[in-house]
Amino acid sequence: MREHFDEIAGQAEANPMKAAQRAARAVQRKRFYAEAATGEADGGYTVTLDGKPIKTPSGRAVVVPVRPLADMIAAEWRAQGEIIDPLTMPLTRFANSVVQGVADNVAAVSEDVAKYFGSDLLFYRAGHPEGLVARESQHWDPILFWAAERLGAHFMLAEGIMHVQQPDQAMAAARAALPDDPWRIGALHVITTLTGSALLALALFHGVIDPDQTWAAAHVDEDWNAEKWGVDEEVAARRAAKLLDFNAVAAVLRALHQGG
């Protein structure tokens, strides 16, 4: 659905967060350190490799706001074998992306998330079969009710994929509920792009639903088709890779909450 709307609206894919994510996917290289640890730094906490703080591919120091997150990133480095594989280090890649692409561009990243409120996955409903209609309502209606009741964001629904213009007031109310610090808005950006829904990301951030419920709600149609026609192995592989990043960023949100 998101790809379809982007094609209609002519929106460019490039944005600071995505550019930083691409840069953070470094090539594999041999392990060059013996010990990964955490320590305090100016403005937060850092991860050290043999006593030296890690940096982004562009050379910026990686300082995270809470110790639980630093501990989890250090655990990724400790878990590496003889070869460092960035694809197995989603927390490190996320931290690099925030430091490089979000810290100086919070407004732009927030705006990119807010664009999804105009074409959110939850707005576009199946007209049939009845079972799918009911399942979409089960997973999606509570989020829309929450947005209306707690945020004052009353969105319009549509059947099929024909774009529906959302009320400016609803868009503004939902945008106002977005966080304004780089780590949290960076996390919401990842969750939004992985699920196709800024509303799901926002509901997860505010504790309305948990990560498992969020992921299930994002894949209602896909799961329905898999039950009826079988699992497509390529689709399943892509989904598993996305789930790795999703779970990592959900853990980031938990760590930020725990750390205050």
Looking at residue 162, what is its pLDDT? Answer: 85
Q: Which of 61-65, 89-93, 178-182, 230-234 is the least confident region?
A: 230-234
- Compute the average pLDDT of residues 100-128: 95
pLDDT given at position 258: 83
pLDDT, residue 21, reads 56
pLDDT at 260 over 70: no
Q: Does the structure show a pLDDT above 70 at 11?
A: no
pLDDT (0 to 100) of residue 222: 94
Average pLDDT, the chain: 90
Least confident of 12-26, 68-82, 104-118, 181-195: 12-26
pLDDT-derived band at 16, boundaries 50, 70, 90:
low
- Can you read off the two tokens belonging to residue 51? 């006593």
Question: Which one is the CATH code of 16-90: 3.40.30.10, 3.40.50.970, 3.40.640.10, 3.30.2180.10?
Answer: 3.30.2180.10
Q: How far apart are the first and last CA of the chain?
A: 35
Domains 16-90 and 105-259 share a fold: no
Residue ranges per structural domain of the chain:
16-90, 105-259
> CA-to-CA distance for 65 and 156, rounded, in angstroms?
38
Instruction: Quote the pTM value.
Output: 0.87
Mean pLDDT of 103-131: 95
Confidence at residue 171, expressed as pLDDT on a 0 to 100 scale: 96
> Can you give the pLDDT at residue 160?
85
Checking if the pLDDT of 9 tops 90, the result is: no
User: What pLDDT is stored for residue 188 in this prediction?
Assistant: 98
Overall average pLDDT of the 107-113 stretch: 96
Q: Using the predicted structure, report yes or no on whether residue 120 has a pLDDT greater than 60.
A: yes
> Of 26-40, 75-89, 185-199, which gets the smallest average pLDDT?
26-40
User: 205-225, pLDDT tens digit by residue?
Assistant: 999 999 999 999 999 999 999
pLDDT of residue 25: 57
Summarize the confidence of residues 92-105 as an average pLDDT: 95
The sign of the CA dihedral 165, 167, 168, 172 is negative
List, for residues 18-67, the tens digit of each pLDDT value: 655 555 555 678 999 999 999 999 999 999 999 999 999 989 999 999 99
> What CATH architecture is 105-259?
Orthogonal Bundle (1.10)
Residue 19's pLDDT is 56
Nearest CA-CA partner of 100 in 178, 12, 181, 24: 24
